[in-house]
Amino acid sequence: MNFEELWAFAGRQPVYSIALVGLTIAIIGNEISRLFRGYKSLVPAQVTALINQENALVVDLRPYADFQKGHIAGSKNVLMSQFDPESKQLAPAKALPIVLVCQSGITVVGAAKRLKKAGFERVHVLEGGIGAWQQAELPLVKGKG
Catalytic positions, written as ranges? 102
Nearest to 60 by CA among 114, 125, 117: 125
C-alpha torsion 22→28→30→35, nearest 10: -170
Q: DSSP label at 59?
A: E
Residue 46's H or E segment, with its range, is helix 44-54
The string over 42-78, giving b where at least 16 C-beta atoms fall within 10 Å of a residue's C-beta and e elsewhere, is bebeebbebbeeeebbbbbbbeeeebeeebbeebbbb
